[in-house]
Amino acid sequence: MRVAAAEETGDAAVLRAMLDAEAALARAQASLGLIPARAAEAVTAAARDGAFDPLSLAERARWGGNPVIPLVEDLRAAAAPYGVFVHRGATSQDILDTALMLVAHRALGPVTDHLELVAGRLGGLAAEHRDTVMAARTLTQQAVPTTFGLKAAGWRELAAGARTRLLAARQALPAQLGGPAGTLRPTDARADSGGADGDRAGGDRADGDGADGDVGLRLLAAFAAETGLAEPVLPWHVLRAPVADLAGALAFAAGALGKLAADVLVLSRTEIAEVREGAGGGSSSMPHKRNPVRATMIAAAARQVPALAAILYGSLAAEDERPPGAWHAEWQPLREALRLVAGAARDAAELVAGLRVDPGRMRANLDVEGTPGSAAALVTRALSPRTAPGRSRAGGGPGGAEAAGHGTGDA
């Protein structure tokens, strides 16, 4: 399966993001004089890849219901003698929410890049085939003529719309730092005399509140800046709009690419054969087949992501100041939706880059009905005004000589 997308959203990526969140918290606190600068340096140095056992973290996560609790224990040991300054004032949800937003932010970069490629290629196909006539199909049947350029322009509009929505969602992804109950007043915001060699924040003292008493707001702003995420208006422990907005953008992207895939799957059928994918698409039992594999994978993603988004929307109904279950239910669906959309965007870029269009087959299929009112008859009239009903060889109007030979059946 999509290796790059899996790496960007897998367990290792989440662990990396949790460590990044803890290190960012320490640096933010040091910048405000809440912990010693050397403590922030030690925590950042300890929060490195490969220093923690994901399997052990997963096993111990069952005790507290989330992986942050055992991670903090291990990180404190790794940052000794400055371990007391790890995770100060934060709650587990602060770190895990921030980590998942970091995972989403990092995963969406390649997704929007791929969608830009998709939209660009489809724009080129729309221009190239603006006059390539083909049969429009409604309710599975041939209807009236259209152009492949118009169809490609529609695909492009959806891909560009998906990119716009994902870019907006990515830019708005917020950090989370509300403290134990989302009040912005951590229980241990003040640094104490702990630490190595009597280090104290700010040199002589470590007054976490400061004269103006807004340490929570200032720490939230500094933390968001350190992570590169947006600063939220409020702690969103139970205000899950950021996750719901992201879910909506992911569902739209999956559906937009799914429309492209659905059309390619129909148009590449053997009996239609108006388009086909590029290289690949073999069969294990029928060597003669060229299966539309990329379109198939995109179609599969398009059917899964809306269901995952429904779970994420359901978590909006979160009780109290931290919900039991609603927040926990988001973790896997969010990562899976990101993974599926990332893979679909990559597959779509490959699909449109190698898409083969057969204008001759499109024109031939217009005559498949073989009746005076068929798409072929309609396109012939559209392309050859002299043969249109009601126009005489002498240039007469609807009452001219040729009009007598035409009834309304051609309409």
Instruction: Classify burial at 330, counting beta carbons within 10 Å of its beta carbon; exposed 0-12, middle 13-18, buried 19 or more.
Output: buried
Q: Which tokens in the block code for residue 97?
A: 């929410």
The CA distance from 204 to 207, in Å, is 10
Rg (CA), the chain: 30
What is the maximum alpha-carbon separation in the chain?
108
374 carries an active-site annotation = no
| Residue 350 phi, psi dihedral angles, 5° rounding | -70, -40
Cβ-based neighbours of 178, under 8 Å, separated by 6 or more: 91, 93, 94, 184, 235, 236, 237
Separation CA 289–CA 283 (nearest Å): 6
Among residues 92, 106, 61, 93, the alpha carbon closest in space to that of 339 is found at 106
Quote the CA–CA distance of 210 and 14 in Å, as a whole number: 34
Catalytic residue among 322, 361, 363, 381: 322
Query: Closest by alpha carbon to 346, among 13, 105, 106, 2?
Result: 2
Q: Of 191, 210, 218, which is closest to residue 85 (Cα–Cα)?
A: 191
Q: Is 121 exposed, middle or buried (0-12, 13-18, 19+ CB in 10 A)?
A: buried
User: Exposed e or buried b for every residue in 194-204, given b needs 16+ CB within 10 A?
Assistant: bbeeebbbeee
Q: Cα(7)–Cα(134) distance, rounded to whole angstroms?
A: 42
The span from the CA of 343 to the CA of 373, in Å, is 43
Question: Of the listed 56, 130, 269, 283, which one is catalytic?
Answer: 283
Q: In angstroms, rounded to a whole number, what is the distance separating the alpha carbons of residues 73 and 139?
A: 61
Q: Transcribe 367-411 into DSSP letters.
A: TSS-STTSHHHHHHHHH-GGGSTT--TT---TTSGGGGG--GGG-
Is position 31 annotated as part of the catalytic site?
no
Cis preceding linkage at 333, omega within 30: no
Under DSSP, the state recorded for 84 is G
**Could you give the residue numbers annotated as active site?**
283, 322
